Amino acid sequence: MTYYLPILSALILVFSFLPLLNKIRKNRSASGVSLLMLTFGLSQSLYFTAYNIYFERFLITLPFIVTGALSTLILYYFTRYNAAKNERMQLVIMLSLSLTPFLLLLLPQFEIGTLLNVLTYVGLVMSSVRVMPQTYKTLRSGNISNLSARYFIFQCLAGVCGLTVELSLAIPSTSHVLMFVMLLLTNIVQFACMQYYKMRPVMA
């Protein structure tokens, strides 16, 4: 059963991004969406994908590939519809910095497996904090017009699938387990924040 969970997780992630993508395309705006959240999502996906491919954990790679590809698509819409020149420059700088560690692979004194394992912990930190800028932006602006509650719900479901698969492995990766746990916690907080702003006009 756990063999199919990464495939299910990848499908859930596709469905999690679709409402968000549809809102952005319909409104022709990505305002309210955090650039930092998407950049961190793409970066941590690159780190975990590289790790899982190197250690031949191919099925568990699927959710990270999907997350990276769809985060890239939203970043494209962000630059197309909303990004000012300085925001585009910030995006280039952040993506360049996230790719810089891979240059260390060219140096013979760095063992590939060890470096990729370290990068998963960097990805863990990114995964742990990546929804926080979105939550902060939501709390500060109250703008949830381009956010989708289903996105965060499906992210949680995908996190449950990923955590189940990781714990079922003979030697679970600590960084992966912690990343899935933080994914669940941060998305639950963001979902609660969105529900508050949906209910507030009614309560007022």
Using 70 as the pLDDT threshold, list the residues of the chain that sit under it. 1, 32, 83, 201-204
DSSP annotation of 55 reads T
pLDDT of residue 55: 92
Q: DSSP 3-state assignment of 57? A: coil
Q: 72 — phi, psi (to 5°)? A: -60, -40
pLDDT value at residue 59: 84
Q: What 8-state DSSP symbol labels residue 169?
A: S
Give the other-Cβ count within 10 Å of 89's Cβ. Answer: 11
Gyration radius of the chain over CA positions: 17
> With b meaning 16 or more CB within 10 Å and e meaning fewer, what string describes 159-197?
bebbbbbbeeeeeebebbbbbbebbbebbbebbebbeee
Q: State pTM to two decimals.
A: 0.78
pLDDT the model gives residue 203 = 43
Q: What is the pLDDT of residue 202?
A: 42
Q: Considering all CA atoms of the chain, what is the largest pairwise distance in Å, rounded to the nearest integer?
A: 63
